[in-house]
Amino acid sequence: MAASGADWFVAADARLGDGSREKPFHDPWLAIRSAGPGDVIHVAAGAYYGRYDRSSWVIDCPDLTILGGYSRDFTTRTPWKKPSVFSFFSGYEATRESNIIAGRGDHSGLTLDGLFFDASGANMYGNKPGDGISSYPNMSGAIASFNAANVTIRNSIFVNCANGGVELSGDGSHFENNLLLNMIGIGMLNLRSSPTMISHPIVALNNSFCFMHDVGDPPGSGGDSAIGIRVNCPAIVQDNIFVSCGNAAISLYLDPARVSIERTFFFLTPRDIVKIRSQGNSGEITEETLEELEDIGFNSSVDNLVRDPAITGL
């Protein structure tokens, strides 16, 4: 294992590397296996499929940082233009983990920055334009799942999963400046309850949640799925954009007084922008009744708007 604070490098076209800048590993799994607490993994742009194309990466090291979007020589970093894609390999036939990336054991202090996660390889699509998805796995989990404290995920993209996007339940975790796009499942971001007391709320800041599809018949009928953010722990939800989240943009399962929703844009919401299903408190807020949001009893609920966010390039 490397000494604390070491740097590891990954490039998709590398062969027989040792993890150095000059001879990078060919996949992040090798860097994750080699890294120790405090290390940084630098991932060049390209497509990655994991060990033996398993399409799964497990983090079991605390205080690890994984940075994506580098040029091949690691001199520049532009993750929104040249992504490091953690992909699902459609030809893998053996048993694999439920998530594309997940934490195990002590992974507290983990930072993921500038990564792209694409689960489309797990799905079957029609042959003609407009056919859409024809089948998808029902037993897989969300793209990413972490339960340790102080996990930070930022500047990353999560797309095309039929079982939800990201699960977080660690004290003081941050989910910031991410794009979640084109999903099926219970929720794009699931802020779960924890067996230990969460003393510092999970923060969801400056993210875009776009096109969470409800496969019910009819869609948008109010079921407990197709939700932008599911909140089951203390949380601060600020400066986010929700576009076309099938049954609810935000759904709460705890006392609203433990949650803040501020400066949020809602647009093209088929059903509810906020749904409350906590003990002794239930209700639905739609785009037409947004002004009633402040009457629910949130810790804070200011400057929320129904407005076209004018997003381009999706």
Mean pLDDT of 111-117: 98
In a domain, 103, yes or no: yes
Is 223 buried (19+), middle (13-18) or exposed (0-12) by CB count in 10 A? middle
Residues 101/143, Cβ–Cβ less than 8 Å: yes
Paired tokens of 235: 């949380």
In a domain, 247, yes or no: yes
The mean-pLDDT minimum among 2-6, 232-236, 296-300 falls in 2-6
In a domain, 22, yes or no: no
Percent of the chain, pLDDT > 70? 97
Percent of the chain, pLDDT > 90? 78
**What is d(CA 24, CA 44) in angstroms, rounded to the nearest whole number?**
9
Structure confidence by residue, pLDDT tens digits, 276-294: 998 777 889 999 999 999 8
Please, which pLDDT band fits residue 139 given cuts at 50, 70 and 90?
low
In a domain, 314, yes or no: no
* CATH number of the CATH domain containing 71: 2.160.20
Residue 84 predicted with pLDDT over 90? yes
In a domain, 5, yes or no: no
Which structural domain, as residue segments, surrounds residue 146? Answer: 38-306
How far from 51 is each of 54, 62, 128, 137, CA to CA, in Å? 6, 21, 32, 21
In a domain, 262, yes or no: yes
> How many domains does the chain fold into?
1
Given this model, what pLDDT does residue 13 score? 96
In a domain, 8, yes or no: no
Is 237 buried (19+), middle (13-18) or exposed (0-12) by CB count in 10 A? buried
In a domain, 75, yes or no: yes
Structure confidence by residue, pLDDT tens digits, 15-71: 999 999 999 999 999 999 999 999 999 999 999 999 999 999 999 999 999 999 999
The mean-pLDDT minimum among 116-120, 199-203, 209-213, 215-219 falls in 215-219
Paired tokens of 258: 């433990």
Mean pLDDT of 105-126: 94
Q: Which residue has the higher pLDDT, 97 or 138?
A: 97
Mean pLDDT of 116-142: 83
What single-letter DSSP state applies at residue 3? P
